Amino acid sequence: MKYCPECKADMREQTIDEVERLACEADDCSYVVWGNPTPVVAGIVEYDGKIVMAHNVAWPKHFFSVITGFLEKGEDPAEAMVRETKEELNLDVQSQTLVGAYGFEQMNQVIIAYHLEATGEIKLNEELDDYKLMEKSDIKPWDMGTGLALKDYLKSLNLM
């Protein structure tokens, strides 16, 4: 960002609250690029006793994960998760439990993760091109992002 979106003055790196940030250099303007993380909801969706692991069209071939989504303006995270479950998998949420919130520095996101029990007939939307239903005991969580939520969920079941 070269020019301030508020007043069109030049932007430059400045130390604000002990952190280097891009900020407007005009004295009478307070525009700062804070870089606050974006919240993302993630759903560990249980279907027929198994966990739905989905494959996003943009991901490497063998990578499957839980579903995720962004919140609409003003939307409650729990409601966003119910909406995303319907949109991405065509499933209806019957129960919902918060698993936890996890910083995901690599993506500058904060993941708000839920465990959901859902019913219906799975139909993937255009973001997904494959899925598998995994036994909970077969899931091998990774060490960042949604993997941390999966770890906590499996720990709560004494499966880790």
Q: Does 16 bind Zn ion (CB under 5 A)?
A: no
CB of 33 to Zn ion, least distance (A): 11
Among 21, 22, 29, 136, binds Zn ion (CB under 5 A): 29
Q: Does 33 bind Zn ion (CB under 5 A)?
A: no
CB of 154 to Zn ion, least distance (A): 48
HEC secondary structure over the chain = CCECCCCCCEEEEEEECCEEEEEECCCCCCCECCCCCEEEEEEEEEECCEEEEEEECCCCCCCCECEEEECCCCCCHHHHHHHHHHHHHCEEEEEEEEEEEEEEHHHCEEEEEEEEEEEECCCCCCCEEEEEEECHHHCCCCCCCHHHHHHHHHHHCCCC
Q: Does 26 bind Zn ion (CB under 5 A)?
A: yes
| Contacting residues toward Zn ion, per CB under 5 A | 4, 6-7, 9, 24, 26, 29, 31
